[in-house]
């Protein structure tokens, strides 16, 4: 299983628009924004903002894969070794991922990102 990089950190915020504006003022570029989550980029690295209504995951960090077959292999290996993992699912932005928990209960995400997420102009 070969990770490409640690790609993002996800945090919970009360107001997506306000938080996105704040992080943009720090120099990040808005890549995706919806009513319940937003994604900002600083170069190759990302920050996901999760609203209280976002029900897919809580605070977590995400590892990036650039090949769908690599994430599918990683999913099978983790599951067969007894690591708790959710089902893999496709996201509305074209990526796919699954979540898991480390031995201390921290959430992580394995994310297939087929191409760099462009910033919104």
Spell out the residues 6+ positions from residue 51 whose beta carbon is closer than 8 angstroms to its own.
12, 13, 14, 15, 16, 35, 36, 37
Q: What is the pLDDT of residues 17-70, one digit of tens each?
A: 999 999 999 999 999 899 999 999 999 899 999 999 998 888 999 999 888 899
**Which pLDDT score is estimated for 17?**
95
Residue 117 reports pLDDT greater than 70? no
**For residue 121, is pLDDT > 60?**
no
- Band (pLDDT 50/70/90 cuts) for residue 105 is confident
Rounded to an integer, the average pLDDT of 71-100 is 91
Q: What pTM, to 2 d.p., does this model score? A: 0.77
DSSP alpha helix (H) spans, 26-67: none
- Whole-angstrom Cα distance, residue 110 to residue 100? 8
Span 1-19, pLDDT tens digits: 677 788 899 999 999 999 9
pLDDT of residue 19: 97
Q: Mind listing the domains of the chain with CATH numbers?
A: 5-112 (3.10.180.10)
């Amino acid at each position: 299983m070969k990770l490409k990089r640690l790609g993002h950190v996800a945090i919970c915020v009360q107001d997506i628009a306000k938080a996105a504006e704040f992080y943009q003022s720090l120099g990040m570029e808005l890549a995706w924004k919806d009513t319940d989550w937003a994604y900002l980029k600083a170069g190759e690295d990302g920050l996901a903002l999760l609203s209280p209504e976002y029900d897919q995951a809580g605070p977590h960090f995400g590892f990036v894969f650039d090949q769908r077959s690599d994430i599918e292999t990683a999913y099978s290996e983790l599951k067969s070794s007894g690591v708790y993992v959710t089902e893999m699912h496709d996201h509305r932005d074209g990526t796919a991922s699954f979540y898991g928990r480390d031995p201390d209960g921290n959430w992580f995400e394995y994310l297939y990102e087929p191409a760099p997420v462009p910033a919104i102009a």
